[in-house]
Structure 1
Amino acid sequence: MTRIIADISVSLDGFVTGPDPSPDNGLGTGGDRLGARRSALDAGLVDALTLHLAPVVLGAGTPLSTGGAPRTLVQRSVISTSTATHLTYDVSR
């Protein structure tokens, strides 16, 4: 069976883009310090989630989750570096 793994950077306040993302500025203002936004989590398609927690507060932008069905995350690993904390979870359905 295929496992879907989401791998994304997120700010300390939960945003995956900065404010005002657009086609010409896909990650929004300040979002270049993060990564892109995968909506598969809200759709319930993700089996594992790896978050790269960046030490930045954006204050606004695109949230990691927009309030889909509640999900239970089971922590699998935590790796801390000087630039981010890398968290891996299994996602229960």
Structure 2
Amino acid sequence: MTRIVADISVSLDGFVTGPDPGPDNGLGTGGEALHTWAFSDDPDDRRLLREGTARSGAVVLGRRLFDIVDGPNGWDDETGYGASEVGKPAFVVVTSAPPAAVRLADLDWTFVTTGLPDAVTAARQRAEAASSDRGEDLDVVIMGGGATVGSAVATGLVDALTLHLAPVVLGAGTPLFTGGTPRTLVQRTVTVTSTATHLTYDVC
């Protein structure tokens, strides 16, 4: 069964970037600390990253994040989806208009201009096809940015939420949640490593 999983790193004070994020500074000032876990040598960090990348049948991201990862300082052969795992699932981008060109042309990109629900539907179709091809259940992973993940949770599109809680207080930046419909979460797993606390919840 294909699940819709929102997966994102967040600071102790609820930010998914530091202050002043932009195309050349995607995580904002100090935001690199959010992803220390993804590049650590801690065996549990490595396992969680490897498992999460492997289960990704399709990935949803917003246009701002796409512009960062496809930009000149974005993903490359050594760092991509899943950090050093460099996974290559199908990618579905929510945008008002497709880009004129794509730098990472070897990746499978779909651009959806009719909103997040339609993007999730398209990603589910891609993940289900990948599941059939591989003979195992794969998920749709909503990787960000913060507004995309927050909106997906608020509008009830998400089955599970995985947070990588980094031991940093950023003070400002892009908040993960800014209000919206209350949601009940059921805690499923907690893994504490040297660099983060990894939390998984079912979203009711």
TM-score (norm 2): 0.42
Does 2:141 match 1:29?
no
Give, in angstroms, the shift of residue 3 of structure 1: 1.5
Segments of 5+ residues of structure 2 without an aligned counterpart are: 36-143
Letter in 2 for 1:18: G
Query: Which residue of the partner structure matches residue 3 of structure 2?
Result: 3
Does 2:183 match 1:83?
no
- Give yes or no for contact 1:42–1:66 (8 Å, CA) kept in 2: no
Q: Distance in 2 between matches of 1:66 and 1:2?
A: 28
The structure number with the bigger radius of gyration is 2
Q: Deviations over 1:13-53 (max 9, x none)?
A: 11000011112211111112225534222332111001111
* Richer in strand (by share): 1
Give, in angstroms, the shift of residue 85 of structure 1: 0.5
Match of 1:74 among 186, 189, 195: 186
Structure 1 segments (4+ residues) deviating >6 Å = none
Of all paired residues, the percent bearing the same amino acid is 80
- Give yes or no for contact 2:5–2:161 (8 Å, CA) kept in 1: yes
- 1:21 aligns to what SS in structure 2? coil
Q: Distance in 2 between matches of 1:6 and 1:83?
A: 20
Query: Which residue of the partner structure matches residue 176 of structure 2?
Result: 64
Match of 1:51 among 163, 168, 175: 163
TM-score (norm 1): 0.88
Query: Which residue of the partner structure matches residue 42 of structure 1?
Result: 154
**RMSD of the TM alignment (CA)?**
1.5
Segments of 5+ residues of structure 1 without an aligned counterpart are: none
Q: Distance in 2 between matches of 1:23 and 1:43?
A: 27
Q: Distance in 2 between matches of 1:89 and 1:45?
A: 14
